[in-house]
Structure 1
Amino acid sequence: MTDHFVTVEAPAKVNLTLLVTGKRPDGYHLLDSLVAFAGIGDTVTARPADSLTLHVDGPTAASLPEGENIVVKAARLLAEAAGVPLAADIRLTKRLPVAAGIGGGSADAAATLIALSRLWQIDLPPERMRTLALSIGADVPVCLAGRPTRMEGVGEVLTPAPALPPAWLVLVNPLVPLSTPSVFKARTADFSTPDPLTHAPADAHALAQALAARRNDLTAPAIALLPLVGEMLAAITAQPACLLARMSGSGATCFGLFADEAAARVAAQGLSAHQPGWWVAPAPLLG
């Protein structure tokens, strides 16, 4: 057996903004979101094998729900689409919290599609790969793109976003899952008008100003379901040098925006001291 293997990182997805702009007849909500990625995430490693196997390790592996892992689903759908045997030994190293609003599962699925495409030496047309990704989950296409992106529709309309400046994030999660369908169901506000970022911010301060003029429409319903979200936002805002605090996705992960690594690491230390039971991770904003 060859020792050839492919390793792909699965960075955390961060919704810098998230507007709910409508609802389809089938119940799916329409979004307008500025999506970026943080320099922390899970890792997918794939090796040749005679059948499909999945091994999961890492600090948050035990919190994965039972049932078919999204990595297995991605592998199965890719093999079917490409007409190749479903055979690979996959190792998923979990570092991101589960059901946390930072696309951990979606990022894992996207990384699996990339890793197995390389391992199996297949090259699906980009549009076919995006369609396959969307069939796995709404956030998988943007995670497959892996760059700052304006995401519209239910996740299928992707447009490259303006370049983002160097900046750092501190991601905070209470290690309490928050159901995405429940958050959307709890939302009662009117639909929002799309408000995309149209110009590249010059620096982290300009980015914070641009984001402050926008919002995450799911914050209020998330706080109603899990008041800890409000507590995290207040704790992040209280950190020295925090430029902006916001919830990502449907929660419960929140993030603080900082101008540099030093400020982010000081804030992370302060938050960890304030609440030792929270998951706190400083990471660069990947621009």
Structure 2
Amino acid sequence: MEVTEKAPAKINLTLDALYKREDGYHELEMVMTSVDLADRVTVRSIEENKIVIRTNSGVLPLDRRNHAYQAARLMKKTFEIDTGVEIMIEKNIPIAAGLAGGSSDAAATLRGLNKLWKLNLSLDEVAVLGEQVGSDVPFCVYGRTALVTGRGEKIQPLGEIPQCWVVLVKPRVGVSTGTVFNVLSFDDLVHPDTAGMVQAIKEQDYVKMTQSVGNVLEHVTIERHPDIERIKTKMLTFGADAALMSGSGPTIFALCSKYSRAQRVYNGLKGFCKEVYLVRTLK
């Protein structure tokens, strides 16, 4: 028996850091949504009692560094599963891109193993398990637009955002999330309008949604990688309604209400970066 789960990428419509907590994490307030760029994760039982990761990616780790591996190990330990599992990850989401690809793979693994092993856990219970794997995993378990707080474990669904086209561009740079947070200064932060974003989604107001995007980590990453600012400028020049870095970067996304504009942004950036994607927001 095998189970296949879709693992969509996420983008941050807003990302705010409120303060640094005593446990070392930052208290976050974010509006996140999923887009139709997804990995596919297939889990199947094997006789030997071990976890095997397979993938079409040449750079994805196949051992305990892999989030899907960690998710499977957690499920086996928690529910005392003494059979093995093979996890096949078809990678389509760029790696280390600020799109939660690894977290989404872990979430898909948790959902898939819940079905494969007939554990009958609710999504809420799966999300609680996901907290132990990574901060973005609980959101990815649900995979729908939400206000996300705490260090990422508190999920408040918001309903669908106004449908639009999304152009994703991943520059050829590496970004360390830990480093970005470590150098973040609260003295000069310009906080995004998270309340305005939530209201825009509730009212299905696309214009207000595009006016409310913001990410406090963006200026930190741009200082180290100025190409991000140049890509944002190009996106807006080509007709995007809004452009913003997702997560700690380096991926930048553009929002477009019309396909023709999204196509123009996509075509304009294809010559500038290798990894460019044109997708829809998920319903």
Q: So what's the TM-score if we normalise by structure 1?
A: 0.89
Distance 1:100 1:193, change over 3 A: closer
Aligned length, in residue pairs = 276
Say whether the 8 Å CA contact 1:76–1:86 is kept in structure 2.
no
2:229 is equivalent to residue 233 of structure 1: no
Alignment correspondent of 1:141: 138
The one-letter code of the counterpart of 2:199 is T
| Aligned mates of 1:48, 1:177 — CA distance in 2 | 35
CA RMSD of aligned residues (A): 2.0
Deviates more, 1:252-261 or 1:117-126: 117-126
Question: Could you say which residue in structure 2 is the equivalent of 1:30?
Answer: 27
What does residue 201 of structure 2 align with? 200
Instruction: Tell me the amino acid that sits aligned with residue 94 of structure 1.
Output: K
d(CA) in 1 for partners of 2:76 and 2:32?
Answer: 28
- Equivalent in the alignment of 1:116: 113
Q: What aligned pairs does 1:246-261 form with structure 2 within 5 A after superposition?
A: 246-261=244-259
Shift of 1:198: 2.6
Matched with 2:175 is 178
Query: Counterparts of 1:166 and 1:214 in 2: how far apart (Å)?
Result: 15
Note the residue ranges of structure 2 that are not aligned, 5 or more in a row. none
2:39 paired residue among 16, 39, 42: 42
1:235-272 CA-to-partner distances (Å, cap 9, x unmatched) read 211213x1000011110011000113343233212210
Matching residue of 1:283: 279
Q: Does the 8 A contact of 1:107 with 1:144 survive in 2?
A: yes
Query: 2:213–2:242: 8 Å Cα contact kept in structure 1?
Result: no
After the TM superposition, which residues 40-189 of structure 1 pair with which residues of structure 2 at under 5 Å, given as runs? Answer: 40-51=37-48, 52-57=51-56, 61-65=57-61, 67-68=63-64, 69-189=66-186
TM-score normalised according to structure 2 size: 0.90
**Alignment partners' CA distance in 2, 1:237 and 1:266:** 11
Q: 5+ residue gaps in structure 1? A: none
Q: Secondary structure of 2:82's match?
A: coil
In the alignment, residue 21 of structure 2 is paired with which amino acid?
A: R
Larger deviation: 207-216 or 44-53? Answer: 207-216
Alpha-carbon deviations, 1:208-236, whole Å to 9, x = none?
43342341100000101222211221121
- Cα gap change, 1:65 to 1:76, in 2 (>3 Å): closer
Residues 193 and 213 in structure 2, CA contact (< 8 A), matched pair in contact too: no
Secondary structure (helix, strand or coil) at the match of 2:92 reads: coil
Q: Distance in 2 between matches of 1:285 and 1:126?
A: 22
Structure-2 separation of matches of 1:255 and 1:268: 11
Residue equivalent to 1:270: 268
Do the aligned residues in 1 keep the contact of 2:210 with 2:241 (CA within 8 Å)? no
Q: Deviations over 1:84-119 (max 9, x none)?
A: 225112110111111111101000000110111111
Percentage identity across aligned positions?
A: 32
The AA in structure 1 aligned to 2:201 is A
Query: For the residues of structure 2 that align with 1:184 and 1:129, how far apart are their CA atoms?
Result: 27
Q: How far is 1:202 from its partner?
A: 5.7
Q: Compared with structure 1, are the counterparts of its residues 175 and 42 closer, same or farther at alpha carbon in structure 2 (3 Å cutoff)?
A: farther
C-alpha distance after superposition, 1:17-37 (max 9, x if no partner): 111111101210111100000
User: Which residue of structure 1 aligns with residue 220 of structure 2?
Assistant: 221
Question: 2:6–2:41: 8 Å Cα contact kept in structure 1?
Answer: yes
